[in-house]
A and B are shown apart, each in its own frame.
Chain A
Amino acid sequence: MKESLIVLKNVTKIYNEGQINEVVSVNNISLDIKKNEMIVLKGPSGSGKTTLIAMMGCLLKPTSGDINIMGKSISKLPEKFMNQFKLQYFGFIFQNFQLISELSVADNVELPLYPLGVKPAMRREMSLKLLERFNLKHRQDFKIKELSGGEQQRVAIIRAIINQPEILLADEPTAHLDTELSQSYLEYMKVLKVSGLSVIIASHDPRVCEFSEVDRVIEIKDGQLKL
């Protein structure tokens, strides 16, 4: 049996608790995600899947409940430690990629390495290695705004894995992509899973849910697991 990677126990997230505009985004969810799994969190907009994935990725603290990642409880960690932990174990791919358009490809890709205290020479070495692997080495000095959609997609993926994470999280990765790009994206995810990463994708795109490499599809509705 595979090792547990992320264990959520009765996790709840309430925004604006006690106020008029109180919103229960995630309601008492318990989950057990194993190592090297590819999981899809499926649900419509507002279902709480983005909040859930953010909590799993140490971007957000739960209101109640416990989140355990690789045996460590992270729910009560202060921001600084959460960040360090996140940087060492997680990679995140955002909707619309969220690259800094003024920076070059190499500079964008190296951003997660700054807080880890990686020296410039080492940073450059690591980034070039990955850029080469994803066939972008010749574009290393180009500004993001000069790249095509597919190239930007690859840059976003490289940025997410440059810090050698264990877990890759992606939020609606195919939301603004055409079929071809969506397919190539899923192929990259497959490659990463094969290389040992665990992949968690939040999406309501049927192409993602029905992807062959997906181990489990977890449905979420109104902040709760749909069983």
Chain B
Amino acid sequence: MEKLKVNWLDKKLNIIDFAFQSLLRHKTKNGLIFLIFLVIISIISSIFFITGSLTKELMSTSKSLPDITIQKIQGGRQVVVEDSYLSEIEKMPGVETVEPRLWGYFYFSELKANFTIYGLDLNDLEADEYTKINHQQLLSPNPDYDMIVGTGVYRLLKEVFMEQNFIFNQSTWEQEISCRIIGTFKAETQLQTNDLMIMQAEGARKVLEIPESAYTDFAIYIPNPEEVQNIAIKINRLFPELRTITKKNIETTYMSVFNWRSGFVLSGLLISILAFLVLIWDKASGLGAEEKKEIGILKAIGWDTDMVLSVKLYEGFFISSFACFGGIIFAYLFVYIFNAPGLKNVFIGWSSVYPDFDLIPFFDFNYLLLIFIFTVIPYCTAILFPAWKVAITDPDVAMRNIN
């Protein structure tokens, strides 16, 4: 009788066949495990994608920021900084320009909206940076009170018929301040300008109630990046009441704002880890009687330990790797195609003024690898371990003890 010749490749393919068939035999159970896995990985990946994108957004414009921002701190709080510091700081070698800035917040209680007011010469803005609004009035009122606003502000004010003229008023003021809105920032700059109201410095000073010889802060520009730290230290030494925030400090904050300490990230991780551990525990706590019997029979009829374990490994591998990749793909679609409905609102909170923003895709293959390693490997190990204990039994023992 001609003996059957063993084909190595076909043997491997047979193992894969059997493993997949095994999974199909318990469609419901395996389907559920796959689904849970998929959901867990989708959640983690979505969180990762959103926070990664937001960090990328932050970092994309950081190089245009001032090299040092100076604030005055009194009693732990920021207060206005006097212009007397200007000349001292300007004199320092290495400092190119010191720009005193007037900016702050105006809370419009009627709409429960918080606007950022910024004083800037409107002529400094270029035509492509904002969209002009045509007004019916031919005579312009005081140009000190002309404003260019962000699209979010404009949208909000339109609802209350204030999109042409906005009236600033505080209970302590004798007279209200009326500002004409002459333009809106382009939609592309929403993430930076959405809540902004930019007006001439004089108007801003009045609205923000900042006294004549004071400013909100100073923006310092230093051409040589190597000197930034030294100049910051010098300023600190000369004026200990001043706080220096370097561009590097800001970038450090950017990188850490969505790290694991953020409640959102932490809770997402905790839930996922918990669910994952429950899944693993269920697998690692041992095989059912049917599974043990099956392994015993396979060993008894001639399957070696390798083969039996390979089947189990493939079973685990197929479920976990498809769930892993599927979860990542699903998360990508959820975040970047459908714009993360619901999830984005976590970052917006109760704001009345919030941008419609499309996130910059953040797709990192290192992350893919990391997720893969931390999900597939533990899961496969959890599957293999109980199977291994049964699979290493001598076939004759397996044969006898199958009952």
**CA separation between A101 and B289, bound complex, in Å?**
12
The contact of B11 among A98, A100, A115, A171, by CB within 8 Å, is A115
- A112 shortest CB reach to chain B, Å: 5
Asked whether, in the complex, the Cβ of B10 is within 8 Å of the Cβ of A115, the reply is: no
A49 at the interface (CB under 8 A from B): no
List residues 266-311 of chain B with CB under 8 A from any CB of chain A: 290, 293-294, 296-298, 300-307
The contact of A59 among B14, B395, B403, by CB within 8 Å, is B395
Asked whether, in the complex, the Cβ of A111 is within 8 Å of the Cβ of B11, the reply is: no
**With A83-B304, A98-B297, A102-B290 known to touch, is A116 a contact of B402 (CB < 8 Å)?**
no
Asked whether, in the complex, the Cβ of A92 is within 8 Å of the Cβ of B300, the reply is: yes
- A153 shortest CB reach to chain B, Å: 16
- B2 shortest CB reach to chain A, Å: 8
**CA separation between A102 and B403, bound complex, in Å?**
16
Asked whether, in the complex, the Cβ of A116 is within 8 Å of the Cβ of B399, the reply is: no
A83-124 toward B: CB 8 Å interface, digit per residue (1/0)? 110111010101010111111000100011111111110000
List residues 361-403 of chain B with CB under 8 A from any CB of chain A: 394-396, 399-400, 402-403
**CA separation between A111 and B303, bound complex, in Å?**
9
B32 at the interface (CB under 8 A from A): no
Chain B residues with CB under 8 Å of A107's CB are 21
The contact of B303 among A51, A115, A163, A164, by CB within 8 Å, is A115
B175 at the interface (CB under 8 A from A): no
Chain A residues with CB under 8 Å of B11's CB are 114-117
List residues 47-67 of chain A with CB under 8 A from any CB of chain B: 50-51, 54, 59-60
**With A79-B304, A92-B301 known to touch, is A115 a contact of B4 (CB < 8 Å)?**
no
Asked whether, in the complex, the Cβ of B6 is within 8 Å of the Cβ of A117, the reply is: yes
Asked whether, in the complex, the Cβ of A115 is within 8 Å of the Cβ of B14, the reply is: yes
Asked whether, in the complex, the Cβ of A50 is within 8 Å of the Cβ of B3, the reply is: no
B83 at the interface (CB under 8 A from A): no
**CA separation between A92 and B302, bound complex, in Å?**
9
A44 at the interface (CB under 8 A from B): no
Chain B residues with CB under 8 Å of A59's CB are 300, 394-396, 399
B306: nearest chain-A partner, CB-CB:
A80
Question: Do most interface residues of chain B lie in helix, strand or loop, or is the interface mixed?
Answer: helix
**With A111-B298, A115-B304, A120-B17 known to touch, is A164 a contact of B1 (CB < 8 Å)?**
yes
Number of interface residues of B (CB under 8 A): 38
Asked whether, in the complex, the Cβ of A114 is within 8 Å of the Cβ of B300, the reply is: no
**With A100-B294, A100-B297 known to touch, is A94 a contact of B402 (CB < 8 Å)?**
yes
A23-67 toward B: CB 8 Å interface, digit per residue (1/0)? 000000000000000000000000000110010000110000000
B303-322 toward A: CB 8 Å interface, digit per residue (1/0)? 11111000000000000000
Asked whether, in the complex, the Cβ of A119 is within 8 Å of the Cβ of B10, the reply is: yes
B25 at the interface (CB under 8 A from A): yes
Number of interface residues of A (CB under 8 A): 39
B9 at the interface (CB under 8 A from A): yes
**With A117-B8, A196-B1 known to touch, is A60 a contact of B302 (CB < 8 Å)?**
no
**With A79-B304, A80-B306 known to touch, is A118 a contact of B399 (CB < 8 Å)?**
no
- B11 shortest CB reach to chain A, Å: 4
List residues 174-217 of chain A with CB under 8 A from any CB of chain B: 196
Chain A residues with CB under 8 Å of B5's CB are 117
Chain B residues with CB under 8 Å of A116's CB are 4, 6, 11
The contact of B396 among A51, A83, A113, A119, by CB within 8 Å, is A51
A196: nearest chain-B partner, CB-CB:
B1
A127-153 toward B: CB 8 Å interface, digit per residue (1/0)? 000000000000000000000000000
B18 at the interface (CB under 8 A from A): yes
Chain A residues with CB under 8 Å of B305's CB are 79
Chain B residues with CB under 8 Å of A83's CB are 302-304
Which 5 residue pairs across A and B have the least CB separation, nearest first?
A117-B10, A117-B11, A117-B7, A54-B396, A114-B14
Residues of B within 8 A of A (CB): 1-11, 14-15, 17-18, 21, 25, 290, 293-294, 296-298, 300-307, 394-396, 399-400, 402-403
28 inter-chain pairs at a CB distance below 8 angstroms, sorted by A residue, are: A50-B400, A59-B300, A60-B395, A79-B305, A83-B304, A90-B302, A92-B300, A92-B301, A92-B399, A94-B300, A94-B399, A96-B402, A96-B403, A98-B297, A101-B290, A111-B298, A112-B301, A115-B302, A115-B303, A116-B4, A117-B6, A117-B9, A118-B4, A118-B10, A120-B14, A164-B2, A164-B4, A196-B1
Residues of A within 8 A of B (CB): 50-51, 54, 59-60, 79-80, 83-84, 86-88, 90, 92, 94, 96, 98-103, 107, 111-120, 159, 163-164, 166, 171, 196
